[in-house]
Chains A and B, each alone.
Chain A
Amino acid sequence: MEQLSLHRRMYDRGLRLLLRLAAALVCALLAGLIGVIFLQGLPNLTWAMLTSEPSVIRNITGILPNILNTVALVAGTLLIALPLGVGAAIYLTEYAASHRLAAVIEFAAETLTGIPSILYGLVGMLFFCQKLGWGSSIRAGILTLVIMILPTIVRTTQESLKTVPQSYREAALGLGSGKWRMIRTLVLPASVDGIVTGCILAVGRIVGESAALLYTAGSAAVLARSLGELLTTSGGSLTVALYMYSMERGKIEVGFAIASILMVLTLLIDLSAKLVGRKLRRN
């Protein structure tokens, strides 16, 4: 009896030690990564870099075009993907008569969210850049990202629609409400927190995307003179610029500077997703 209890105590203590080690290792890795990036990146980050167009001749390093490209990519993608994705999710959860078909589409969407983004890049390049003859351009990048991000938006929207109690729907329909009115006045207000949180996280994915954009949006860093020019010409996002500076031009310090910007952006996006979600839930 005594023997067994001692054995168990040792076992318990050993296991707890291992788990503690695992947790410590994860934390150390994370802290180390963030530390290295900020230590190497922040000292190299200058106001001039953030606000100027790069020039090889005048030896200027600037990432303003890349910042604007990223903004254009995020805005353009959301503008298209949001109404499309939320609309599709509403249709699938609230209207679709065939539940089997809806289940198949849901499964497909789930699978699509797990596909490596470079595959979306490849398809986007073949279709938008070559077949449609758009070349490397922000618009090709936007449409590729739309396809990439749609399944995520559909799934997260569906998940939050499904959390709305069925009893609300029954009560509204029982009062003679039409379906759209019920959705607009009850279902959407009750699920808006989840939908918004999902969209903010989608923004995070767009900001962090590189592989799909390298294929489709190109890597140029030139200030466009008009919105039309911005959309139809090649433009590298911050992530693509990070790759170009560190791998192709050997300016690793600029790479770290961009990395620290991306890190702060990601942090802000995650934080705002949490805050907005909490705030909407409270209302």
Chain B
Amino acid sequence: MDILSTRGLDLWYGDNQALKHIDMDIPERQVTALIGPSGCGKSTFLKTLNRMNDLVPAVRVEGLVTYRERDIYAPGTDVTWLRRQVGMVFQKPNPFPMSIYDNIAYGPRIHGVRSKARLDDIVERSLKGAAIWDEVKDRLKKSALSLSGGQQQRLCIARALAVEPDVLLMDEATSALDPISTSKIEDLITELKEHYTIIIVTHNMQQATRISDTCAFFLLGELIEFGQTTQMFSMPRDKRTEDYITGRFG
């Protein structure tokens, strides 16, 4: 079952075409990795999936993007609804300058949760879901900025989980972290795919092979190859994919 699909997706930043005719079907409850050299369009592609590109001035999108068979660029689409379904974790941990508790409760409060008991429950569940509960349960009222980088990133994952999304987008979510924090988050991603569809952008080829089921290779705005990760890394169909994953460029 495919949860997100694109057909003939083109994207321009001004006159610069960043995505060229992308057709992709992303399977549900799997980890899909987007790989490719810097500037290949993988992050741009990721952000079209929850319309975070809307924030960029002079961006133009053509083609079809569907989430559960709904055209998310159709006029009248509720972007707030979309972003609740398709959550995002950013490259650099970006906790809000408030307490750990308020960080997690931020999303649920947006969506109308007021009851203290329910918020308490959501905060605990989300922090457990992001494997950080034991480290922070005694200091929920402390500022989130007092946490280490790796903890902050898991906090951001917990914050994204708190609104109960369907899909989680991760834009190089471990590239700013140390190896131990990275491996914790990789373990977490593997667990999360039981309940969520996860799409990660990564520069780290080993990471893609470790955690992803499906893999997409982008080059200069084009989708070069898309398929099973094991197959792509053992027997790439395209010469350019082979060159990239064997480290010949990029």
Mark A residues whose CB is within 8 Å of B.
Answer: 99, 165, 167-178, 181, 185-186, 189-190
A168 to B106, CA, bound (A): 12
In the complex with contacts A176-B111, A177-B110, A171-B156 CB distance below 8 A: yes
Bitwise interface map of B from 76 to 89 toward A, beta carbon under 8 Å scored 1, else 0: 00001111100110
In the complex with contacts A99-B57, A176-B111, A176-B163, A170-B94 CB distance below 8 A: yes
* B96, A176: Cβ atoms closer than 8 Å: no
A172 to B55, CA, bound (A): 12
Q: Is B42 an interface residue when CB atoms closer than 8 A count as contact?
A: no
Q: Which residues of A contact B160 (CB under 8 A)?
A: 174-175
Which of B52, B97, B107, B111 lies in contact with A170, CB distance below 8 A? B52
Q: How far is the CB of B30 from chain A (nearest CB, A)?
A: 22
Q: Which residues of B contact A186 (CB under 8 A)?
A: 96
A165 to B94, CA, bound (A): 9
* B92, A167: Cβ atoms closer than 8 Å: yes
Which of A99, A176, A190 lies in contact with B83, CB distance below 8 A? A176
* B50, A174: Cβ atoms closer than 8 Å: yes
* B83, A171: Cβ atoms closer than 8 Å: no
Q: Which 10 A-B pairs have the closest CB atoms?
A: A167-B94, A176-B84, A175-B107, A174-B88, A176-B83, A176-B80, A171-B94, A177-B110, A99-B57, A175-B163
- With both beta carbons as reference points, the residue of chain A lying nearest to B93 in the complex is identified as A167
Q: Which residues of A contact B88 (CB under 8 A)?
A: 170, 174
* B81, A168: Cβ atoms closer than 8 Å: no
Mark B residues whose CB is within 8 Å of A.
Answer: 50, 52, 55, 57, 80-84, 87-88, 90, 92, 94-97, 106-107, 110-111, 156, 159-160, 163
- With both beta carbons as reference points, the residue of chain A lying nearest to B78 in the complex is identified as A176
Q: Which residues of B contact A173 (CB under 8 A)?
A: 52, 55, 83
Q: Which residues of B contact A174 (CB under 8 A)?
A: 50, 52, 83, 87-88, 90, 160
In the complex with contacts A175-B83, A177-B80, A170-B55 CB distance below 8 A: yes
Q: Which residues of B contact A169 (CB under 8 A)?
A: 55
- With both beta carbons as reference points, the residue of chain A lying nearest to B156 in the complex is identified as A171
Q: How far is the CB of A102 from chain B (nearest CB, A)?
A: 10
Q: Which residues of B contact A165 (CB under 8 A)?
A: 94
Q: Which residues of B contact A170 (CB under 8 A)?
A: 52, 55, 88, 90, 94
